[in-house]
Structure 1
Amino acid sequence: MKAQFEKVTSSRNSSFNAFIYSDESFNAPYHFHPEYELTYILEGEGTRHVGNSVQQFEAGDFVLLGSNLPHCWKNSPSYNGDAKSLVFQWDDDLLGDGWLEKNEFRGIHKLLEKAAHGLKLKDDFEGNLLEKLSGIVDQPPIKRLLSFLHLLEELSAANNFETLTNINFKPNLNLKANSRVDRIYNFVQQNYQRKITLEEVSEVVSMGNEAFCRFFKRSLNKSFFSFLNEYRINMASKKLIYSNSQVGQIAYDCGYDSLPFFYRQFKKFKNCSPLSFRKSFRKVSAQS
């Protein structure tokens, strides 16, 4: 998951990219590119990294990413299915230089400004979202462009987006720095179930403790242990939803040896207790 520059090549038959990604896993590294990106997950589950945000994803996950915002999707080790997504990529010159400054596209302009911090659509908007996205991919070039502009206009009127990164987050596009972040992400994914010390994670990137803490805070605008707890709570949330394990066992499985501390962290990141989270999800599932 290395945050490296990715060169996006547009199709000769279109002013933007619209395609279906399909593979055994989401294997794109942690990367960035100048183009905006819309991604809708068709199949797969795991962890989505956008800037300093770390969240679980599954089929139906739909995000809009701004220019040069580092991101990647990482499969859950327990997931055995395929990875599949609908992807749209375009740049500021979609309709020529300065098109976003024109009055007709004011709403889209504001939407793309907000996308600088990453946006996740919380719920479906009017009509069938998947049907609309799939329809765009299958259309001939001119109709595809018009349908895509209509989609962006609809999204600009939606008010059910969740901002992914901290408002003060600024992407670190230094390749050496992001290579270090890549190694830290991989280390956390492989070791979050146990106690992790500052000394050992600092050794992963060959840095002293103080230098590591400064580096991580500068890169992701949060401390390492805040990031680690956010990752653990997201993993715990998944276990609360998809398993019948006791809360104490889930806390232990996610690296917590203190149940009160686990409850405090869960409240901090989810604004509710683990049991309330589980009950709320099951109530919604029963009603759907």
Structure 2
Amino acid sequence: MKAKFEKINATEDHLLHVFIYENEKFDAPWHFHPEYELTFIIKGKGMRYVGNSVQEFKEGDFVLLGPNLPHCWKNTSATEEGVQSLVIQWNDSLLGENWIDKTIFLNIKKLLESASQGIHYSSEDAIVYLERLHNILVQNPLKKTLLFIELLEELSQIKKINKLSSDGFTPNLNIQTNERINTIYHYIQENYNQKLILSDIAGQVNMSEEAFCRFFKKTLNKSLFTFINEYRINMVSKLLIETTDQVSTIAYECGFESLPFFYKQFQKFMDCSPLVYRKKYHQDTN
């Protein structure tokens, strides 16, 4: 896989690039582009990578991304139904040069500044906007733009948001770096449920262990094994929701070899115990 610069096709008459993405799976590599992006997952589930964030996603996932923020969505299991997302992309000159600096757009300016880290909206907020996004998709260029500006203003008023990348993350747009990260993402996705050895991972990108650890920490602002544990905890969370298997069984299936260590990591990343997480999910969906 190769992380690459993505060119967005927009014309002077069509200030927004609005489209439905449909495929058997999300197959885009970790990539970046200078445009902002608003993505709503209509169908599909897996892991979402934004900057140095790795989180589970499913239908209703609603994310706002800033310019040049590397990202991709990857399926964690095959599905016969395929995947579908609604995507809106636009650049800084949406309404002309320096439009965002005008006082009437102050709230939108603050929103777009926050998008530099990536913003994830809760499912409760997201579901309200799917019909609105579809409506924007089918309008003529003028109506499309007006409705979109109105949408941004509304999104700027939502207080309950989750910033995705950490404060210290700075995108590294070096092509070789992105290719290496893609290779590591793929290797971890394929082997997270097994014992992962540093030398084997470093060997995937032909680096020494010491050089690889420095590279990974510098690129994602977190250690390799913090990233692996985060990935595994997200996979555990998925199975807690989708199955009735015992917590210990799920932990071992996702690559954890020590239950005390697993419980400590789950509390760290999810801020609750596995049983509380499972119970809360079923309470919220009933």
Compute the displacement of 1:285 (Å).
1.3
| In 1: Cα distance, 2:213 partner to 2:198 partner | 9
Residues 145, 281 of structure 1: alpha-carbon distance in 2 compared, 3 angstrom cutoff? same
Q: Check the 8 A contact 2:60/2:123 in 1, yes or no.
A: no
For the aligned residues, what is the CA RMSD?
1.3
Q: Which residue of 2 aligns with 1:61?
A: 61
Are the counterparts in 2 of residues 62 and 121 from structure 1 also a CA contact under 8 Å?
yes
Query: 1:93-132 residue pairs with structure 2 within 5 A?
Result: 93-125=93-125, 128-132=128-132
Partner of 2:245: 245
One-letter code of the match for 1:52? N
* 1:81 equivalent in structure 2: 81
1:133-192 deviations in whole A, cap 9, x for unaligned? 110001111111100000000001111210001011101101001110110000000000
Question: Which residue of structure 1 lines up, in the alignment, with residue 144 of structure 2?
Answer: 144
Does the CA contact (< 8 Å) of 2:37 and 2:87 recur in 1? yes
Deviates more, 1:12-21 or 1:254-263: 12-21
| C-alpha deviation, 1:116, in angstroms | 0.1
The unaligned stretches of length 5 or more in structure 2 are none
Aligned twin of 1:36? 36
Which residue is equivalent to 2:157? Answer: 157
Is the 1:199–1:209 contact (alpha carbons within 8 Å) kept by the matching residues of 2?
yes
How has the CA–CA distance of structure 1 residues 140 and 242 changed in structure 2, closer, same or farther, with 3 Å as cutoff?
A: same
Amino acid at match of 1:213: C
Paired amino acid for 1:226: T
What secondary structure sits across from 1:281 in the alignment? helix
Map of 1:135-284 to 2, 5 A cutoff?
135-284=135-284
Instruction: Find the aligned partners of 1:62 and 1:223 in 2 and give their Cα distance.
Output: 27
Q: Greater shift after overlay, 78-87 or 188-197?
A: 78-87
Aligned residue-pair number: 286
The TM-score, its normalising length taken from structure 1, stands at 0.97
What are the Cα deviations for residues 264-287 of structure 1, in whole angstroms up to 9, with x where unaligned? 11011001111111111111112x
Q: Contact 1:45–1:79 at 8 Å: present in 2 too?
A: no
Percent identity of the aligned residues? 51
Q: CA offsets per residue over residues 197-243 of structure 1, 9 Å max, x none?
A: 11110111111111000000000000000000000000000000000
Q: Partners in 2 of 1:188 and 1:3 — Cα distance? A: 17
Single out whichever of 228-237 and 72-81 deviates more from structure 2.
72-81
Runs of 4+ in 1 over 6 A off after TM superposition: none
Is 1:134 paired with 2:134?
yes
